[in-house]
Amino acid sequence: MPERSPDAALFDKVVNLCKRRGFVFPSAEIYGGFRSTYDYGPIGVLLLRNVKDAWWRSMVQLRDDIVGLDAAILSPPAVWEASGHLATFSDPLVDCRHCGTRHRQDELDDPDVCPTCGTRGSFTEPRQFNLMFKTHAGPVEDDASVAYLRPETAQGIFVNFANVVNTSRKRPPFGIAQIGKSFRNEITTGNFVFRTREFEQMEMEYFVPPGDGPRWFEYWCAERLRWYVDHGIPERLLRLRSHDPDELSHYSSGTSDVEFLFPWGWGELEGIAQRTDFDLTRHAEHSGEKLDWFDQASGTRYVPHVVEPAAGATRTMMAFLMAAYDEEEVRGETRTVLRLHHRLAPYKVAVLPLSKKAELTGPAREVLGRLQPRFMCDYDETQAIGRRYRRQDELGTPFCVTLDFESLEDEAVTVRDRDSMDQDRVAVEELVPYLEERLEP
C-alpha cells in the first residue's frame, strides 16, 4: 500500500483516472451533466459490485446470525411519519439577501457571514429543509398518492421485522442486512461521489436483548473498522470517532463513525449507531402490529434493541480508490497502479496475446475461455504490450496473462503480478489453480 496520505493532487488524479478509464462518468454528460449525479462505467460497475459483494460476504455469507433483504425504494408516508424522518430529517437553510445564494447554516465557518459575497448579517432566518425526495404513486397527483424515495435502507428492514422473524428461524441476537439505493435531496453535494443525491448504502440492523445494546455496539465498531483494514485501507487513514451528544440523530443513544482521511480531512464512511428500541416501538405504535420478541427460555416478551452499522457503498468505493492509488518510477517512467485488494479489483485477470495474429489470438481466446467461468477477465489485443500492462495497472488488475509465440511450443504463458511486476512462466494446464491460489475468494 502507498505510504502517503491523500492530498488534493491525489484527489484530482483519482477523479481523472475514474473518467479516463471508465470507472465513473458525470450523469447525462452529453447534456452538461446533472447535479452531482454519477454513472458507473464498465470498470466502476465492477468495482462497486465487488465492494458490495465483499460487504455481503462478510455480513451475510460468512455468518449464521444475519440474513439478507431487498425492500422497495418507494414507500408510503406512514413509514416516514413513524420513523421520524418527516418531522426531523432536515437541514437548516439560510439565504443571503445580498447575493441570493443558499447555504446550510450548520456548515458555515461564520454563521453571520456569507461565504459567497462576504456580506455580514445578510442571512434570512434559518428554514428547515426536508431531505426526502417526494413523488406521487399512480396517475393522480394529490395528497393521497404521495410517496417517498427512501433516504435510508434501514426502515425497509424495520417494517419487515415480523416477516423475517416469522420466516427465518432467527432469534436475537440476529441481524438483517440490505444493500441498495437511497436518495437525499442534499443541499451541499460535492467532492465527487462523496456526497450525492442518489447513492448506495450497505446497512445492517442487529436485533439484541435490551441490556445487550452497549456490548454489541462495541463489537460492531471493532468489526467494521477491521473490515476496511482487511480490504486494504492502511490503519493510519482510518479512525473511529464517537459523536458528541448534540450530534446524535433523533433515534440514537450513541454513535461512532468509521472515518477515512480524505484530502479535505476526516470524513465518514460508516456510522455505527445504537438505535435502541426506537424504530420497532414507533412502527408498532403507528401500525398497530406487534413488533417484539417472546423469549421462551425466560418467558418474557421484549422489544429488541438495535445496533446498526450503516455504510455508503459509493462513498466507500471512493475511499478504496484513494487508498489504492499509487505512482512509482520504473525505468525512468512513472507507473500508475491501483493496489486494490484482490477481492475488490474490477478484473482479476487480463489475457493479452503478444500479437494480433490469428495464430496467437486463437489460443489466447481458448485460455480466456478457461478462465472466464472462474474469474472476471479482460481481453485486450490492441497496442504494444507495455501500454496494455500500463492500462491493466491503472485498472488494478492483479494478474496479466501473456501469450507469445513460444506459448505455441511449450503450452505455457507468462503471468505478471501487478504489484511486484514479477513474471512467472506457467503451464496453461496449471493456470487456473495457479491463479486460484493467489487470488483470495
- The binding track of 152-171 with respect to ligand ATP, each residue x by CB under 6 A or -, is x-------------------
Question: Among the candidate windows 46-54, 165-173, 205-213, 269-277, which touches ligand ATP by CB under 6 A?
Answer: 269-277
Contact 202, 311 (CB under 8 A): yes
Q: Which is nearer to ligand ATP, 205 or 270 (CB)?
A: 270
Question: Among the candidate windows 103-111, 191-199, 326-334, 422-430, which touches ligand ATP by CB under 6 A?
Answer: 191-199
Q: Does 353 bind ligand ATP (CB under 6 A)?
A: no
Task: Provide the minimum distance between the beta carbon of 189 and ligand ATP in the complex, in angstroms, as a whole number.
Answer: 7
Q: Does 186 bind ligand ATP (CB under 6 A)?
A: yes
Report the alpha-carbon distance of residue 250 to residue 335 in Å, rounded.
48
Give the one residue of 184, 231, 416, 418 binding ligand ATP; rule: CB under 6 A.
Answer: 184
Q: Which is nearer to ligand ATP, 240 or 432 (CB)?
A: 240
Helix 42-56 and helix 313-324, axial crossing angle in degrees, nearest 10: 110
Report the alpha-carbon distance of residue 310 to residue 259 in Å, rounded.
12
C-alpha cell at position 273: 449507531
> Of 217, 310, 229, 223, which Cα lies nearest the Cα of 268?
310
Q: Assign 407 to helix, strand or coil.
A: helix
Give the one residue of 213, 312, 346, 353 binding ligand ATP; rule: CB under 6 A.
Answer: 312
Q: Does 310 bind ligand ATP (CB under 6 A)?
A: yes
Q: Annotate 352-386 with DSSP letters as a single string.
A: EESS-SHHHHHHHHHHHHHHTTTS-EEE--SS-HH
Q: Does 367 bind ligand ATP (CB under 6 A)?
A: no
Q: Does 315 bind ligand ATP (CB under 6 A)?
A: yes
Q: Does 18 bind ligand ATP (CB under 6 A)?
A: no
Contacts 24+ apart (CB under 8 A), 243-251: 249/273, 250/84, 250/88, 250/278, 251/83, 251/84, 251/275, 251/276, 251/278, 251/279
Phi, psi of 206 (to 5 degrees): -110, 115
Q: Does 180 bind ligand ATP (CB under 6 A)?
A: no
Q: Which is nearer to ligand ATP, 185 or 281 (CB)?
A: 185
Amino acid at 326: D
Q: What is the DSSP letter of 8?
A: H
Q: Which is nearer to ligand ATP, 131 or 426 (CB)?
A: 131
- List C-alpha distances in Å: 50 to 21, 340, 376, 440: 17, 11, 11, 13
Task: Provide the minimum distance between the beta carbon of 203 and ligand ATP in the complex, in angstroms, as a whole number.
Answer: 7
- The binding track of 217-246 with respect to ligand ATP, each residue x by CB under 6 A or -, is ------------------------------
Burial class (CB in 10 A: 0-12, 13-18, 19+), 295: middle
Question: Among the candidate windows 267-275, 360-368, 394-402, 428-436, which touches ligand ATP by CB under 6 A?
Answer: 267-275
Q: Which is nearer to ligand ATP, 223 or 268 (CB)?
A: 268
Q: Assign 429 to helix, strand or coil.
A: helix
> Of 257, 254, 255, 188, which Cα lies nearest the Cα of 225?
257
- The binding track of 193-222 with respect to ligand ATP, each residue x by CB under 6 A or -, is --xx--x-x---------------------
Residues touching ligand ATP, count (CB under 6 A): 16
Q: Which is nearer to ligand ATP, 270 or 393 (CB)?
A: 270
Question: Among the candidate windows 10-18, 112-120, 165-173, 310-318, which touches ligand ATP by CB under 6 A?
Answer: 310-318
Task: Provide the minimum distance between the beta carbon of 207 and ligand ATP in the complex, in angstroms, as a whole number.
Answer: 19
Report the alpha-carbon distance of residue 333 to residue 345 in Å, rounded.
24
- Residues of the shown chain interacting with ligand ATP in the complex, contacts defined by CB under 6 A: 152, 184, 186, 195-196, 199, 201, 268-271, 310-312, 314-315
